[in-house]
Amino acid sequence: MPDLHIEEFYKDVAKILLQMYRSFPRKSQVFVEDISGPDQPDEYGIHSARHQSCFAAMLWLSEEGFIRYQDTIRQEAIDQAVITQETFLRLTGLADIEPADSVQPTTDTAVVMTNIELIQLALRSATSTNLATLMEHVLFNHR
């Protein structure tokens, strides 16, 4: 079972990619608070560790070639962000992993789903461990 901060990382990455997929091919701003929830900086203006981790996930996605962005808006957001071609193809590709029992479609017939559809379902109803497993597969086991 992954550590809590790793499960939060995968959840943040899933939300970031889903938000950017929904605006693709337009460039957009991605705000940390839209992904990880509201944050109140301390008296010195330093954000919580949770906020900083989410922002770091955005930067990591860029460093690893999943997204591109033009600039940061302090530690609040990335600006003019878009998923890369490779990420678009990963997200729209047919899923080659079975959804967890908790995210099975409600139909009786076998349904072929894309990775982005699985991510959407998992964000709605999967456990954090199941979401982490899915995101690990999408990010690191793509052919």
Q: What is the mean pLDDT of residues 63-67?
A: 97
Burial of 114 (0-12, 13-18, 19+ CB in 10 A): middle
Which residues span the domain enclosing 59?
A: 4-140
Q: How many domains does the chain have?
A: 1
Band (pLDDT 50/70/90 cuts) for residue 76 is very high
Please, which pLDDT band fits residue 110 given cuts at 50, 70 and 90? low
DSSP for 83-121 reads E-HHHHHHHHSBP-SPPPGGG--SSSS----BHHHHHHH
**Is the model's pLDDT at 97 over the cut of 90?**
no
Token pair belonging to 126: 């999967």
Q: Does an H or E element contain 135, and which?
A: helix 128-140
Backbone φ and ψ of 109, nearest 5° = -85, 155
pLDDT at 49: 94
Classify residue 18 as left (phi > 0), alpha (psi -120 to 50) or beta.
Answer: alpha
> Which two three-digit tokens encode residue 28?
């957009």
Average pLDDT over residues 34-63: 95
Asked whether residue 28 carries a pLDDT value surpassing 60, the answer given is yes
Dihedral sign of CA atoms 136, 116, 20, 16 in order: negative
User: Taking 90 as the threshold, does the pLDDT of residue 104 lie above it?
Assistant: no
What pLDDT is stored for residue 139 in this prediction? 94
pLDDT at 62 over 70: yes
- Beta strands, E only, the chain: 28-31, 67-68, 71-73, 77-83
